[in-house]
């Protein structure tokens, strides 16, 4: 049965001692889960060992070389819609760079980078489903949603963005949606006015 409590120091020490003294035992986590002093299931014990207790784990901060290795390794060794083999990455990093890292730490480094990339690509951009329609009504609605004022003066469209330069990506997108024969001028209104 899965326990919701935290591992105590005593339980951690029991697991460490057992693992060090029983290296050749098959299914050590299953044996540990049957001990009364360890009220955790096999998966919880294995996770604790592989992420915290294994004495081979390097717990220092990741070097830039290690991060770059992860960023390059994952795309080279993973096909689309395929799970990343963290165990293989862990072994290859140990062989090439010398540090044995927790699999979860490797995942965290990779996922953190992916979130940064995703955040940069979405910063102040208009969602695609918002911009599918280019008719005047939807365009006016988008302008309201993104606080953009449009004034038509003969063939010149003047666009003012109230939020300043941070909305430049959204404004650029809107400009591309306007009739390409118009002459466009972009004025970013300073927030400090």
Q: Residue ranges per domain, the chain?
A: 9-53, 64-122, 128-188
- pLDDT for residue 133: 45
The predicted pLDDT at position 183 comes to: 36
| Fold of the CATH domain 128-188 | Alpha-Beta Plaits (3.30.70)
Q: Which residues of the chain have pLDDT under 70?
A: 1-2, 123-193
> Do 187 and 160 contact (CB within 8 A), yes or no?
yes
Listed in sequence order, the residues at least 6 apart from 178 whose beta carbon sits closer than 8 Å to its beta carbon are: 139, 157, 184
**What pLDDT score does 121 carry?**
81
User: CB within 8 A of 179, min separation 6: which ones?
Assistant: none
pLDDT of residue 80: 81
Cross-strand bridge partners of residue 157: 152, 184
């Amino acid at each position: 049965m899965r326990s919701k409590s935290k591992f105590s120091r005593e339980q951690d020490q029991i697991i460490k001692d057992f693992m060090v003294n029983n290296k050749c035992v098959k299914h050590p986590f299953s044996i540990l889960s049957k001990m009364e002093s360890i009220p955790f299931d096999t998966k919880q014990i294995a996770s604790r060992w592989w992420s915290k207790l294994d004495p081979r784990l390097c717990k220092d901060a990741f070097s830039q070389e290690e991060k770059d290795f992860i960023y390059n390794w994952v795309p080279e060794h993973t096909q689309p819609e395929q799970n990343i083999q963290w165990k293989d990455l862990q072994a290859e990093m140990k062989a090439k760079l010398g540090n044995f890292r927790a699999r979860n730490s490797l995942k965290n480094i990779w996922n953190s980078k992916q979130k940064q990339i995703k955040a940069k690509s979405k910063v102040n951009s208009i969602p695609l489903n918002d911009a599918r329609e280019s008719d005047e009504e939807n365009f006016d609605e988008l302008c309201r949603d993104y606080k953009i004022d449009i004034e038509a003066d003969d063939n010149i469209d003047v666009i003012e963005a109230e939020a300043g330069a941070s909305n430049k990506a959204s404004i650029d997108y809107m400009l591309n949606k306007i009739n390409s024969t118009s002459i466009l001028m972009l004025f970013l209104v300073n927030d400090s006015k």
